[in-house]
Amino acid sequence: MPLGGLIHRRFAWRVRAVELRARLDSLDFKLSLYVKYSPIIAASLCGLSTLHAQSVEPEPPKKLPDLVVKAERERRSLTTPTAEESRKELNKTPGAVEVVDAERFLQGRASTVADTFALSPGVFAQSRFGSDEARLSIRGSGLQRTFHGRGIRVMQDGVPLNLADGGFDFQALEPLATSHIDVWRGANALAYGSSSLGGAINYVSRTGRTDPGVFSRLEAGSYGYFRGTLAGGLTSGSSDLYGSFSHQTQNGFRNHAEQSNQRLFANFGQQLTEDAETRFYLSTVHSDSELPGNLFKRQIELDPRQAAPANITGDQKRDFDLLRIANRTTLRNGDTTYEFAAAWTHKDLDHPIFQVIDQNSNDFLLGLTVTNSSPLFGHENQIRGGVLYTVGLTDAANFVNVGGRRGNLVANADQVATNLEGFIEEQFTVGNGFTLIAGATAAWNRRDNDQTFGPGRDYALDYTNVSPKVGFRWDGPAMQVYGNVSGSYEPPSFSETLTLNAAREDQTGTTLELGTRGEYGPVRWDASVYHAEIKDELLAIVDPLTLLTSTINANRTTHSGVEFGGELDLLGSSWQETPDHRLVLRSAWPYQSEGHRPCSQRPAKGASISHRKPAAGYLP
């Protein structure tokens, strides 16, 4: 490179270095000034800010209108428990029990008890020629009765529907006005005062609080079957009202088997306080039922649809009107609950058979139950006791049957059935999941017949009984094991005491039972085995010559069986979960052995598959 070019480049670098040093010196000077005078600048800015604040008047605060947020706590009914509450209470029983959800029998026809209790283990329900009247039996109790049931205590929200002599009418039951049904199989309904061999069934009503709005349902089928229901509920504050009206008609498969039934069921509830509630019930039933009668085998083979000739000429039927008013009031004071019950039932029966049976009856009921759940010696303990008084007054007249109409008076009687019953049961939790149960029922019953006209005689029959019960229950994480030894007792109704064979002894028995219930993943089960020894069982027989049915006291009989009911979610969901969909296989398999030794065996079984979706209900 030439010397002149090299000198020029070095001079240019020097000039650039001097310019860079000058810029850095200038920057250092500016930074020094900022650091030196920054407190003065900050003070000046604060002063300016203060002067500005003093020059602007502050705005007064604005007052917004008050905003009040109210949330009403969901009220829990003291008179009508939910299905889950009933299931929790029933699972305290050291014996076989079941809660039948309404959704189960609303999948299809819901007309008779045979529809209601399909796939209920241990409950045998068979409709009488397709009508509301049926054979309803639990563990063989009352099996021979196909009308005006007996052998089971039937209740509506804990208030008995049975008349004072023990019988009940199937038409007084309305499944479509029912939220769910509690079932105690066998001598397991001690906590509700029942000591009968068949146990008890409790229909828990829908209310305006549980089912608000309007509900309608239509059913139609073969042989002229039609059933229409219109129901609705409403709630206003602490009050609720629910009503249901249904109309049902059918021609029937056989001749002279037409049915026509109208039912009105209503209840009104008033929550007085958080610990007090009362509920009133109104039931009215109008029932007309033609009776086709029994046929011999050769008649069935010739024409299974024909009616018995005598039933046609006598226009045999069973018609009645029923009116029932009841009340249940519950008061809660700490660990103690008081339940009061009262009811009046009027029934007018027109029943042309071999004679025209004309009966007018009035039945009255008063009851009190007290439950205390205070701990005892540092352990969980529940003691429950109660008393029930019922009296029934019946004007019973028989007339000559003239083509289904009343002819001359044949007989007339004033009948009075009186019952005073008490019970007590204690459940004491020992520990390690074990609970011991002990209790007893005591009863005094009277059947008084005053024959005012015609054949027959006066009688007054008194019955007394004490039936003890002991049992245990073991509660595991997801299962229970239970067992009990229980006494049972049933005095005869007027239908038995007036029979030709005069079945006038009370039926008593002792039942031994073992069982388990629980769930594991998608499986849920309830299984039990029982054996009952019965003395003076009330059994119906048919005279081979006159073909008339009468009732006798059998000397000694036995009832034994195995009952199994189970559910399996085929989609694999646990019963602790709440999935969007379930595909449920349900099965029931009871195996019963009843009668004199040697026993006759009558197995039965069934199964169903249903799809369940919480938002849409159940689909068969």
List the one residue out of 361, 326, 324 whose CA is nearest residue 343. Answer: 326
* Residue 348 belongs to some domain of the structure: yes
**Given this model, what pLDDT does residue 41 score?**
41
Asked if 186 and 199 sit in the same domain, the reply is: no
Residue at which a domain ends, from 173, 190, 207:
190
Listed residue (15, 337, 343) closest to 163, CA to CA = 343
One domain for residues 163 and 209: no
CATH number for the domain that contains residue 182 = 2.170.130.10
Q: Which of 329, 390, 340 is nearest to 364 (CA)?
A: 390
Q: 212 and 176 in one domain?
A: no
For residues 576 and 483, membership in a common domain is answered with yes
Domain membership of residue 289 (yes or no) is yes
In a domain, 306, yes or no: yes
The pLDDT of residue 75 is above 90: no
Contact 298, 326 (CB under 8 A): no
459's tokens: 């009688």
User: 198 and 181: one domain?
Assistant: no
User: Comparing 4-13, 227-236, 366-375, which segment has the lowest mean pLDDT?
Assistant: 4-13
Identify the pLDDT of residue 73: 56
Give pTM, 2 decimals: 0.83
Beta strand pairing status for 225-236 and 213-221? antiparallel
Q: How many domains does the chain have?
A: 2
Please provide the DSSP assignment of 306-334 as one string. Answer: PPPHHHHHTT-B-EEEEEEEEEEEEEEET
pLDDT at 546 over 70: no
41: which 2 tokens? 């600048």
Torsional sign, CA 138, 140, 146, 147 = negative
User: 419, 412, 491, 417: which is closest to 447 by C-alpha?
Assistant: 417
Please, what is the average pLDDT of the chain?
Answer: 83
The mean pLDDT of 563-572, rounded to a whole number, is 90
pLDDT in tens, 109-125: 777 788 888 888 888 88
The 3-class secondary structure across 45-103, one letter per residue, is HHHHHHHHHHHCCCCCCCCCCCCCCCCCCCCCCCCCCCHHHHHHHHCCCCCCEEEEEHH
H or E segment to which residue 451 belongs? strand 434-453
Instruction: Specify whether 163 is located in the same domain as 256.
Output: no
- Which range, of 59-63, 231-235, 303-307, 535-539, averages the lowest pLDDT? 59-63
Cα separation, 137 vs 183, in Å, equals 12
Q: Which residues sit opposite 310 in a β-bridge?
A: none
Alpha carbons within 13 A on the beta-carbon side of 427: 23
DSSP 32: H
- Looking at the fold, whether 226 and 369 belong to one and the same domain comes out as yes
pLDDT at 486: 94
Question: Which domain covers residue 217, as residue numbers?
Answer: 191-619
User: Which range, 32-36, 62-66, 340-344, has the best average confidence (pLDDT)?
Assistant: 340-344
In whole angstroms, give the CA distance from residue 483 to residue 464.
27
The residue among 110, 352, 131, 133 whose CA lies nearest residue 250 is 131
Residue range 157-182, pLDDT digits in tens = 999 999 998 888 888 888 889 999 99
Average pLDDT over residues 175-194: 86
Distances 418 to 163, 317, 435, 464, 475 between C-alpha atoms, Å: 10, 29, 36, 12, 40
Domain shared by 91 and 119, yes or no: yes
Let me know if residue 23 belongs to a domain.
Answer: no
The number of CA neighbours under 13 Å toward the Cβ of 232 is 4
In a domain, 104, yes or no: yes
Q: Are residues 94 and 116 in the same domain?
A: yes
Amino acid at the residue 609: I
The residue from 174, 190, 206 where one domain ends is 190
Same domain, 597 and 607: yes
The most confident of the ranges 24-28, 84-88, 472-476 is 472-476
Q: Do 398 and 513 reside in the same domain of the chain?
A: yes
Task: Establish if 256 belongs to a structural domain.
Answer: yes
Q: Is 502 a member of any domain?
A: yes
Helices (H) and strands (E) in the chain, counts: 7, 27
Long-range pairs of 342-346 with CB within 8 A, sequence gap ≥ 24: 342/366, 342/367, 343/159, 343/160, 343/281, 345/163, 346/322
192 pLDDT tier (thresholds 50, 70, 90): confident
In this structure, the answer to whether residues 274 and 299 fall within a common structural domain is: yes
Q: Of 156, 190, 224, which residue is a domain's last? A: 190
Residue 27 clears pLDDT 50, i.e. is over it: no
* pLDDT(13) > 60: no
Question: What digits encode the pLDDT tens for the residues 237-260?
Answer: 999 999 999 999 999 899 999 999
Q: For residue 250, give the CATH number of its domain.
A: 2.40.170.20
Going by pLDDT thresholds of 50, 70 and 90, the confidence category of residue 471 is very high
Query: So what's the pLDDT on residue 28?
Result: 45
Q: Which residue in the block uniquely carries the two structure tokens 């085929």?
A: 570
Higher pLDDT residue, 593 or 40?
593
Q: Is residue 69 part of a domain?
A: no
Q: Is residue 276 within a helix (H) or strand (E), and if so which, with residue range?
A: strand 276-289
